[in-house]
Amino acid sequence: MVEKITVGLGENSYPIWIGAGILERLGEALQSVKFPRKVAVVTNPTVAGHYGERVLESLAGSGFIARTVVLPDGEEHKNAQTLMSIYDELIQGGFDRSSGLIALGGGVIGDMTGYAAATFLRGIPFAQVPTTLLAQVDSSVGGKTGINHPLGKNLIGAFYQPRLVHIDVDTLATLPPREFAAGMAEVVKYGIIRDREFFLWLNDRREALKGLDPGSLITAVMKSCQIKANVVEIDEKESSLRAILNFGHTFGHAVETLSGYSEFRHGEAVAIGMIVAARISQELGLCSQEDVDALRTLLLSFDLPVEAPRFPLDDYLDAMGRDKKVREGVLRLILNRGIGDCEIRAVNDPRKLVAAALTSEPR
């Protein structure tokens, strides 16, 4: 059984296929969106070992001609050098504007493949086949593509929508527990910013989710993707509303940057960032201590970190000052209003608020 969601963006609209055991239907799904026949499957060694053969068989069975491009694994490789290696493979393989790319892997693979597709020959089609929970519920949907710079995360990139997102929750069975937990941070985020009932559902179903119950996973992924699709349809290129999807990310990206992109998984950094954002919200009277505690408890139940590493305050502020949501030198923070709502607030001098959030002790 396949659940389908459409991201409605006019001529850039595309379907999201969600199910358990549907990887073998990838070729069929690509045919349904008239995807180019000559494709490059961009992946990493770990994912290729688990799913590469099955994907290639599905593609061949539907008449696609596929070449595999294997990139090194890890956020530290999400850079210009690795991106150039994708271009090298495409040029050497004779790829042209009637070709396409398929991202098979997590968020790093998806972001880099999407950016390569956006820029190779000024744009060729690509599809997302996310195999991590974080990619399934967040990075594969919405068309954000890019690479990191040593001074900041995702500072170089483009908005470029995929033709298809194909999500098989069975791929989560081979995901290390730490990576699954990192994905749950993004799932929790949707409940905090948009849907209190979903937040409460996650509390009720946390053991089933951690046990990889297929029905629970499909529901969580569908709800997350639908919330994100609804926001992206209103604001595709993050001129206003879409920024709320970055709840916890401003501080989280600072954690990743200061840690050299290697100590914390993205979702772990976002979990820490959500607690900092919630503490700032409490300082401003937008949420209660009980709301902060509820968020902290749920994140901890999914084995996520909730306390910030001890970097100097000035280092945090400098990293946050390079955030993409800065406008004319003013930082805009995404702050939760209780559980299930949020707002975007410009903060001229974040020092006092960030300092207070970092010194707050759990009660």
For residue 113, which amino acid is it?
Answer: T
- Write down the pLDDT at residue 314: 94
Residue 112 in contact with residue 79, Cβ under 8 Å? no
Nearby residues of 133 by Cβ (< 8 Å), 6 or more positions away: 172, 175, 179, 180, 182, 183, 184, 186, 187, 221
**Distance set, CA 130 to CA 95, 110, 221, 351 (Å):** 23, 7, 12, 37
Secondary structure letter of residue 33 according to DSSP:
T
Nearest CA among 281, 284, 311 for reference residue 293: 281
* Count of CB atoms situated within 10 Å of the CB of 90: 22
Tell me the HSE value of 280 on the side-chain side, using a 13 A CA sphere: 29
What are the structure tokens assigned to 286, written together?
A: 């937008």
- Write down the pLDDT at residue 50: 97
- Write down the pLDDT at residue 154: 86
Residue 15 in contact with residue 164, Cβ under 8 Å? yes
* Count of CB atoms situated within 10 Å of the CB of 310: 6
Which residues belong to the active site? 122, 144, 186, 228, 238, 242, 246, 249, 253, 266
- Write down the pLDDT at residue 362: 54
Nearest CA among 189, 357, 192 for reference residue 279: 357
Q: Cα separation of 129 and 44, whole Å?
A: 13
Residue-level length of the chain: 363
Locate the domains of the chain by residue range. Answer: 2-174, 177-359
- Sequence ranges of the binding site for Zn(2+): 186, 249, 266
Q: Which CATH architecture has domain 2-174?
A: 3-Layer(aba) Sandwich (3.40)
Per-residue pLDDT of the chain (363 residues; tens, 9 = 90+): 899 999 999 999 999 999 999 999 999 999 999 999 999 999 999 999 999 999 999 999 999 999 999 999 988 899 999 999 999 999 999 999 999 999 999 999 999 999 999 999 999 999 999 999 999 999 999 999 999 998 888 889 999 999 999 999 999 999 999 999 999 999 999 999 999 999 999 999 999 999 999 999 999 999 999 999 999 999 999 888 999 999 999 999 999 999 988 899 999 999 999 999 999 999 999 999 999 999 999 999 999 999 999 999 999 999 998 876 676 678 899 999 999 999 999 988 899 999 999 987 554
- Sequence ranges of the binding site: 73-78, 107-111, 131-132, 144, 153, 171-174, 186, 249, 266
Residue 170 in contact with residue 23, Cβ under 8 Å? yes
SS3 breakdown of the chain: % helix, strand, coil, rounded to 5?
55, 20, 30
- Write down the pLDDT at residue 363: 42
Q: Cα separation of 281 and 286, whole Å?
A: 5
Secondary structure letter of residue 360 according to DSSP:
P
Long-range (24+ apart) CB contacts under 8 A made by 151-157 are 151/257, 151/322, 152/253, 152/257, 152/319, 152/322, 152/323, 153/253, 153/256, 153/257, 153/261, 154/111, 154/253, 154/324, 155/322, 155/324, 156/80, 156/115, 157/111, 157/115
Q: Which CATH architecture has domain 177-359?
A: Up-down Bundle (1.20)
**Distance set, CA 237 to CA 46, 143, 145 (Å):** 32, 9, 12
* Count of CB atoms situated within 10 Å of the CB of 345: 15
Q: Cα separation of 7 and 161, whole Å?
A: 10
